[in-house]
Amino acid sequence: MTAQNVIVTCMKNEGPFVLEWIAHHLDIGFDHFVVYTNDCDDGTEEILDALMAAGYVTRLDNPFRETGEAKPQRAALKHASTLDVVRDAQWVLVSDVDEFVNIHVGEGRLRDLIDAAGQPDAISMQWRLFGSSDLEDFEDLPIISRHTLCAPRLCPRPIQAWGVKTLFRPAAFKELGVHRPLAPAQSKLKWTNGSGKAVSKKFHESGWRFGVGGYGYDLVTLNHYSTRNAASYLVKKDRGRVNHVNREQGDSYWLRMNINMEHDASLYGRLPQIINRIGELRSLPGVAACHDDAVRLHVDKIKALKARDDTKALFDEITSERAKTVSRHINMIPREHFDSGLLGIPSDLVSMLEKVPHIG
């Protein structure tokens, strides 16, 4: 049977987080996942292979080394554009394992979103950046139950706050892109934002984010849990990136993405279904054992990284009271300080922020 709603993604050492992410997206209406992996040593591929045997996943080795492409994600998307499981799908989304589609209409399923948006060719869903919620340690619990502090909806900086990922009909485009599809296959497209409003003509041509005039969360939000907890962030930094491979994920990335300004528990209502789905996936041959091995390897990796002076110093920095204060007031941090990281923010500015009321 042809998959109807497909997610294409890349993974490297995401083992402990795979089941929840797949369970959530199965629950809202996706039915297949095309996953490109490279250089995994934490059980990610073993989990995916067990899920592939059950028909949920197509796992492929990332072809970037064979193609000479410097960015693994770009190589994967070029390859995915040629796959029948992608081209024959009704809807496709390019997304990452730390991004959760959060639909606010109907029963919170894909069909409700598509109907509410007026059956468009593409829906660009805007990130809402979820921070660490001051959690320092990893626990094998659903991300959506632990992390509820996030950026406000009106968050024009940092620029990453309004990045998008796009759900689209593959028949309307010839190529996949990281944030939006490329090379329209037809002259007229109906392309909306997360509120069901038409995107700008300029965005039809290029762009990876919205601005003050284009943002919208009324129908759907893409919850982006990019930092998770501080301990798991050490593993993320050590792993490296699949797109901007030359940009290090240090304290400047944490500064941009760890935003704890508002409370949003809108996915809480889906927890019972997600937990049930996780249980169903764990009951498949080999899945539970592979997941538990991945959790053990993740915990061991955290211990090893904390034993290194450089990563222990980063952990202490991102869990400091200074970091927590800054995460409550990202909208008050001048743009020029984002590249300099937490330690580059002037002490007098931090002292001023400490006096400003904030959540938590």
How would residue 249 be classed by pLDDT, with cut points 50, 70 and 90?
Answer: low
User: Can you tell me the distance from the alpha carbon of 161 to that of 168, in angstroms, rounded to the nearest whole number?
Assistant: 21
Question: Residue 163 has what pLDDT?
Answer: 93
Contact status, residue 252 vs residue 341, Cβ threshold 8 Å: yes
How would residue 92 be classed by pLDDT, with cut points 50, 70 and 90?
Answer: very high
Contact status, residue 183 vs residue 135, Cβ threshold 8 Å: no
Residue 213 domain-assigned?
yes
Question: Residue 14 has what pLDDT?
Answer: 98
- The residues near 202 (Cβ < 8 Å, ≥ 6 apart) are none
Residue 50 domain-assigned?
no
Stretch 178-188: mean pLDDT: 91
Report how many domains make up the chain. Answer: 1
Residue 30 domain-assigned?
no
Answer whether residue 34 shows pLDDT above 70. Answer: yes
Contact status, residue 224 vs residue 130, Cβ threshold 8 Å: yes
pLDDT digits (tens, 9 = 90+) for 49-60: 999 999 999 999
How would residue 1 be classed by pLDDT, with cut points 50, 70 and 90?
Answer: low
User: Can you tell me the distance from the alpha carbon of 127 to that of 215, in angstroms, rounded to the nearest whole number?
Assistant: 10
Question: Residue 248 has what pLDDT?
Answer: 57
Calculate the CA dihedral of residues 296, 235, 233, 77 and round it to 10 degrees. -110
Residue 41 domain-assigned?
no
Which domain does 172 fall in, by range? 96-245+252-354
Residue with tokens 């984010």: 209
Residue 360 domain-assigned?
no
Contact status, residue 91 vs residue 114, Cβ threshold 8 Å: yes
Residue with tokens 């937490």: 342
Residue 75 domain-assigned?
no
**pLDDT above 90 covers what percent of the chain?**
81
Q: How, if at all, do strands 5-11 and 32-37 pair?
A: parallel
Contact status, residue 323 vs residue 342, Cβ threshold 8 Å: yes
Residue 77 domain-assigned?
no
> Between these two residues, 212 and 76, which has the higher pLDDT value?
76
pLDDT digits (tens, 9 = 90+) for 121-177: 999 999 999 999 999 999 999 999 999 999 999 888 898 998 999 999 999 999 999
Instruction: Name the residue among 130, 202, 329 with its Cα closest to residue 337.
Output: 329
Q: Is 82 exposed, middle or buried (0-12, 13-18, 19+ CB in 10 A)?
A: exposed
Answer whether residue 244 shows pLDDT above 50. Answer: no
Contact status, residue 117 vs residue 219, Cβ threshold 8 Å: yes
Residue 85 domain-assigned?
no
Mean pLDDT of the chain: 94
Q: What is the number of other CB atoms lying within 10 angstroms of the CB of residue 68?
A: 8
